[in-house]
Amino acid sequence: MHMADALISPAVGGTLWVATAGLIAYSAKKAGNELDDRKVPLMGVLGAFIFASQMINFTIPATGSSGHLGGGMILAILLGPYAAFLTMASVLTVQALFFADGGLLALGCNIFNLGFFPCFVAYPLIYKKIAGENPSRNRILIGAIAAALVALQLGAFSVVLETLLSGISELPFGTFVLLMSPIHLAIGLVEGLATAAVVIFVWKAKPEILSAASTSTPIGAPPIRQVLIGLLAVTVITGGVLSWFASSHPDGLEWSMFKTAGTEELDSPPHGIHEALASLQEKTAFLPDYSFRSEAVPEQATEAPAEKEATWPAVAPGTSLSGLVGGALTLVLALLIGIALKRRKKVAA
């Protein structure tokens, strides 16, 4: 469920970085207000607990697969939303750095998907409502499972949205949702069950831990309203930025390569400087300077079916061959530079 750098575009990654940075600053301020210094080591150690616990799997009977404890929900139950969000963000940061789970640019997406939804949506709106101030066994069970299900569904859905808006993957919206949703329904059920079972275990052994957590962070009307307003703002910003981005790539999924290739064929000798200019122009097409491309699209689209067979084999081999030869050469060069530097260092040492 971790997004990868390889699948996102800078616009999507950047927007979610900004959103996540805002949430971290907000949570840090909030948690800082309520943070007695006892909570500082508690957050750190619980983050490490999440780390350790996710390495221990249990088998799911009759399926042959295995599950583990989900992170966000149990943290929210034990710490309250703000501290839990910070802890979850720190866990994901360490995972991104040391295990390269996801990536640095995708870190914003991952913190948002796996931290925001459990801590600020599912916990206050579902778990708190069901489990309440004086929890019972059944209430904890139902609350935790329902909250984990919702959090994971929302997270998975936002993975789909982020991937689609980035436009690197070819998966169409419907297929992708159908692929992600049922899987995460099952994962959510298993994680929710595990979370509920562990929380019930702790609640039986030391009930004061849960009551301390739930009373130390009162979730009244104002905070959640602020969060919702924040979410709205993020949505508007995201929508604005992305629609601007999307409108400059109207149908980037299918035709962008034909378009660029087509313009090259039409009006240029396939030589160095012109190629560079064409690619420069393509980059600047990010910006409003876009009329040229939008004209080229329908034209290309209409004549493409007829001309594709005729023009492509005739022109493409040259370009693709140079691309391949050059690519291979550069790769070899890069490796050689690396090896040479290493050799030189050994000699020096």
The footprint of other proteins on residues 41-80 (CB under 8 A) is 41-49, 51-53, 55-61, 69
CA dist 164 → 8, 225, 254 (Å):
9, 29, 13
User: Cβ closer to other proteins: 125 or 169?
Assistant: 169
Q: Whole-number minimum distance, CB 324 to other proteins, in Å? A: 7
The residue within the footprint of other proteins, chosen from 63, 65, 99, 294 (CB under 8 A), is 99
Range 286-315, binding other proteins (CB under 8 A): 312-313
User: Cβ closer to other proteins: 231 or 260?
Assistant: 260
User: Cβ closer to other proteins: 257 or 310?
Assistant: 257
**Best CA proximity match to 140, nearest among 209, 187, 186:** 209
**Choices 22-30, 128-136, 240-248, 294-302 (CB under 8 A): range interacting with other proteins:** 22-30
The residue within the footprint of other proteins, chosen from 174, 267, 298, 345 (CB under 8 A), is 345
177 binds other proteins (CB under 8 A): no
Range 217-276, binding other proteins (CB under 8 A): 252-254, 256-258, 260, 271-272, 275-276
Q: Report the run of H or E that residue 67 belongs to, with start and end.
A: strand 66-67
Range 187-206, binding other proteins (CB under 8 A): 193-194, 197-198, 201-202, 205-206
Rounded distance, CA 237 to CA 240, Å?
5
Q: Report the run of H or E that residue 59 belongs to, with start and end.
A: strand 58-59
User: Cβ closer to other proteins: 125 or 258?
Assistant: 258
**Choices 7-15, 116-124, 140-148, 235-243 (CB under 8 A): range interacting with other proteins:** 7-15
Phi, psi of 58 (to 5 degrees): -115, 155
The residue within the footprint of other proteins, chosen from 229, 232, 266, 337 (CB under 8 A), is 337
Q: Which amino acid is at 149?
A: L
The residue within the footprint of other proteins, chosen from 5, 185, 241, 301 (CB under 8 A), is 5
Q: What stretches of 217-286 show up as alpha helix (H) in DSSP?
A: 221-248, 252-267, 272-284
Range 147-166, binding other proteins (CB under 8 A): 163
User: Cβ closer to other proteins: 129 or 138?
Assistant: 138
CB 33 within 8 A of CB 248: no
The residue within the footprint of other proteins, chosen from 1, 177, 189, 301 (CB under 8 A), is 1
CA dist 344 → 98, 338, 340 (Å):
29, 10, 6
Q: Is the Cα dihedral 12, 15, 21, 24 positive or negative?
A: negative
Q: Whole-number minimum distance, CB 100 to other proteins, in Å? A: 4
Please tell me the count of residues contacting other proteins according to CB under 8 A. 116
Phi, psi of 8 (to 5 degrees): -115, 160
Q: Whole-number minimum distance, CB 243 to other proteins, in Å? A: 18
Chain centre distance of CA 143: 26
CB 16 within 8 A of CB 3: no
Chain centre distance of CA 347: 45
CB 123 within 8 A of CB 214: no
Rounded distance, CA 110 to CA 158, Å?
10
User: Cβ closer to other proteins: 45 or 229?
Assistant: 45
